[in-house]
Structure 1
Amino acid sequence: MADWSQYEAPIRVGAFAAVFLILALAELAFPRKKRIRSRLTRWVSNVGLLVISTLVLRFAIPVVAVGFAALMSERGIGVFNLTAMPVWLEIILAIILLDLAVWAQHVIMHYVPPLWAFHRIHHMDEDLDVATGIRFHPGEMVSSFAIKLGAIALIGPAAVAVFLFEILLNAASIFEHANIRLPAQLEPHLRKVIVTPDMHRVHHSVYPEETNSNFGFCLSLWDRLFRTYRDQPRDGHDAMRLGLDKRPAGDPARLDYLLLAAFRSSQAARTHKGSNEA
């Protein structure tokens, strides 16, 4: 691998931390929607879930995406490794195709029951903010990473393209879940290209027809192209409810619930009247 690869992890983590901090501060300055749960309780649980999920992933699949891409290049596996094109063009095309792969993986998570059992933990969050962008069950982390490796093996992108995409994907996940109010004149134009927080918030609605829409992470193109795009929530952003009406009994803000609910059957959820305090 190239010499830059030894700095891949710290650069990626540093970029993630910077985006997370900047958008967390933006949430305080320009909030979009009033919270219904304690930020402290949710954040402790969501951060704890991230730590556990990351450890499980590293144990289950002891390889990083960039290293796997380099291995595929060395062995000539994947479409791009069988073709010749300028590096800049390969990077652009690889990022676009990887974003399509993540869109498809997200759709699969919703429609394959065993995978939905894991992914629904992400959707049970009753508020939406930057901490929701790290709320993923270990089962989802492992299965989604396995799908990503399959996409890398098929596409054969350069390691540097995967490196840049990983940074972009992490930033997009935090941005689209951020509870920030974008300028009204900017947001409609911005969502023509990328997934905005308002666009993704629809995906976290309690209504199934809205939950099963707006699957994109970076580019909004795929939802428009495959007719899964929904412009606005039917109840409006201020009044819309977030989370899942049908879920296992318990408190979806507790860490133990996040870990175990994936293995429990769903039932109609009671309305939780949470605190509005930080």
Structure 2
Amino acid sequence: MKDVLFAHEPAIRLGIFAGVFAAMALWELAAPRRHQKIGRLGRWPGNLGVVAVDTILVRLLFPTAAVGMALLAEARGWGLLVLIPVPGWLAVIASVVLLDLAIYLQHRLFHAVPWLWRLHRMHHADLELDVTSGIRFHPVEIVLSMLIKLGVVVALGAPAVAVLIFEVLLNASSMFNHSNVRLPQSLDRALRWVLVTPDMHRVHHSIVRRETDSNFGFNLPWWDRLFATYRAQPEAGHLGMTIGIPQFRDPGELRLDRMLLQPLRSDTHVEQEPGKPVG
């Protein structure tokens, strides 16, 4: 079973990715939440281009990925859940929840540390928000994130199936909660207790820094409430809020080459340090 899981992991992830991406893209066409001034032709080539770069880089540097590391940790007897005898089902649930907590804490770290923010701000520099925004991350951030994830997997001794479930959920939920889709308000309020919704996460992409530094969760919404980083709504409302960050407002910055070079640019005349509000 484990050999089959390891052998088919890329196909499983790719198949689910393609299905979720197509579903969210169609949903955005059928029921958009916000009118977008910059259409897909202006944004998707750069966003999908960086996804291609990220995928190639990760496969070159980490050919076994996180699932392979989980199998190695299990074989070597590494990790907390290997040392402490717990039922398999409990180890899977605990691993998924604790990996999600690790991603939440990592996300806060990338906002709090200036040089990490330089990497992460490329994700926030998108001028609109849709399904492609959820997979738009700088390649160096992706590499650092993978190293952190591998460390957490080893420390936990997370079962390989739990790691695969988490990877699939993280990718799918990121595309879902970045999507420009409309949900009934009553459904959104209910879902926010168990899942990060598009309206909840959109606040995180506000140009207002105190809103940017809120709603860090990707999968589970509990961490924001627990650590007091939850913000229910943007001050300007979802239709009136401005998406992005102050220093990259030119649509030309949506080109792939400009996106990849953003961490190297200071733009000191509008540079905004993490934690400080705009204006």
Tell me if TM exceeds 0.5.
yes
Q: Is the 8 A contact 1:133 1:173 kept in 2?
A: yes
Question: Is 2:110 the counterpart of 1:109?
Answer: yes
The equivalent of 1:274 in structure 2 is none
Task: Determine if contact 2:127/2:249 at 8 Å carries over to the other structure.
Answer: no
- What is the rounded CA distance, in whole Å, between the counterparts of 1:166 and 1:135 in structure 2? 16
Task: Name the residue aligned to 1:275.
Answer: none
Residue 86 of structure 1 deviates from its aligned partner by: 1.3
In structure 1, give the amino acid aligned to 2:39: S
Aligned to 1:276: none
8 Å CA contact retained: 2:211, 2:234: yes
Aligned to 2:222: 221
Aligned to 2:26: 25
Q: Give the counterpart letter for 2:64 in structure 1.
A: V
Q: CA RMSD in A?
A: 1.5
1:129 paired with 2:136, answer no
Structure 1 unaligned residues grouped into runs of 5+: 270-278
Equivalence map 1:245-256=2 (5 Å): 245-247=246-248, 251-256=252-257
Q: Does 1:141 align with 2:142?
A: yes
Distance 1:252 1:17 in 2: 26
Q: Distance in 2 between matches of 1:93 and 1:113?
A: 32
Instruction: Return 5+ residue gaps in structure 2 as ranges.
Output: 271-279
Match of 1:57 in 2: 58
TM-score normalised over the length of structure 2:
0.93
Contact 1:200-1:214 within 8 A present in 2 as well? yes
* Deviation at residue 254 of structure 1 after TM alignment: 0.9
Q: Which amino acid aligns with 2:265?
A: R
CA distance in 2, matches of 1:214, 1:45: 25
| Residue 185 of structure 1: how far off its partner (Å) | 1.6
Give, in whole Å, the separation in 1 of the partners of 2:12 and 2:24.
Answer: 18
Flag the 1:263–1:248 CA change in 2: closer, same or farther, 3 A: farther
How much does 1:62 deviate? Answer: 3.6
- How many angstroms apart in 1 are the aligned matches of 2:71 and 2:260? 33
Measure the CA separation in 1 of the matches of 2:78 and 2:40: 45
- 2:187 maps to which residue? 186
User: How many residue pairs were aligned?
Assistant: 269
Instruction: Give 2:23's aligned amino acid.
Output: I
**Aligned partners of 1:248 and 1:264 also within 8 Å:** no
Deviations 1:137-159 (A, max 9, x none): 11111011111111111111000
Contact 2:127 2:251 in 1 (8 A): no
The percentage of counterpart residues that share the same residue type is 49
